[in-house]
């Protein structure tokens, strides 16, 4: 585990604890958002340096940074599932994710962490892209969990797009090269329905 970036981890723990208390007391909210934003900017800088080769880290440390970035996104997500920070604030992550995906194309663990971050940044990626990316990754519990989490967020934010994606999946599942991927996609949709607040009694496959 990297130690030089330890203060970022400590900062996140402190902000997380403070954020939990401030939600009930409605105090220090602005301060917490600024601290989380600052941590997010530092993480983006680290990921950028890593993607360009200016720094070199082992896979476990890369995953740590990516997972910490996911935590930052979670802390900036409101009860309605929308990030309090504008989508533009996360634009730098998109290029970095692409570069890291290419650089660590042979690392399944880094790919898992990258996919998790992609599903957190639903405002930057279409559901079609996310599903296509999932189909090109190894079948794993981590990827399936990230998929379900991303679908749950989409069900809250955009019901129409969510069910359109579900219909498309059902209509094309027999054409998938991997039966396992198809099954995991269906499970992801079914599990995300249970986690979302939307009801599906009026959902029809056309």
Cα 31 from chain centre: 24
Which sequence spans correspond to the domains of the chain? 1-105, 126-206
Do 169 and 131 form a contact (C-beta atoms < 8 A)?
Answer: yes
Tokens of 7: 């203060």
Alpha-carbon dihedral sign for residues 132, 137, 138, 143: negative
Tokens of 22: 């401030």
How many CA atoms lie less than 13 Å away from 177 in the CB half-sphere?
7
**Three-state SS at 77:** strand
pLDDT for residue 205: 46
Alpha-carbon dihedral sign for residues 122, 77, 91, 143: negative
Taking the CA atoms of residue 136, residue 92, residue 46 and residue 58 in that order, the dihedral angle to the nearest 10 degrees is: 10
Tens-binned pLDDT, residue by residue, of the chain (206 aa): 444 555 555 555 555 555 554 454 555 556 666 777 777 777 788 888 888 877 788 899 889 889 988 888 887 765 455 544 445 467 778 888 999 999 999 999 999 999 999 999 877 888 999 999 999 999 999 999 999 999 998 888 888 889 999 898 888 887 777 888 888 999 999 888 766 554 444 444 44
């Amino acid at each position: 585990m990297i130690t030089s970036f330890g203060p970022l981890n400590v900062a996140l723990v402190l902000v997380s604890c403070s954020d939990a208390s401030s939600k009930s007391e409605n105090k220090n909210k602005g301060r917490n958002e600024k601290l989380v934003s600052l941590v997010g900017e530092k993480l983006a800088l680290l990921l950028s340096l890593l993607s360009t080769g200016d720094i070199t880290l082992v896979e476990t440390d890369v995953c740590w940074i990516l997972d910490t970035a996911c935590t930052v996104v979670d802390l900036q997500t409101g009860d309605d599932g929308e990030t309090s920070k504008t989508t533009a604030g996360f634009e730098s992550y998109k290029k970095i994710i692409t570069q890291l995906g290419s650089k660590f194309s042979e690392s399944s663990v880094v790919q898992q962490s990258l996919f998790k971050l992609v599903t957190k940044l639903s405002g930057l990626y279409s559901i079609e892209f996310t599903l296509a990316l999932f189909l090109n990754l190894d079948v794993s519990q981590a990827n399936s969990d990230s998929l379900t989490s991303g679908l749950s967020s989409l069900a809250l934010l955009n019901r129409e797009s969510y069910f359109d994606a579900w219909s498309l999946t059902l209509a094309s599942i027999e054409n998938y090269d991997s039966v396992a991927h198809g099954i995991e996609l269906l499970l992801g949709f079914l599990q995300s329905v249970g986690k979302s607040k939307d009801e599906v009694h009026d959902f029809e496959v056309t």
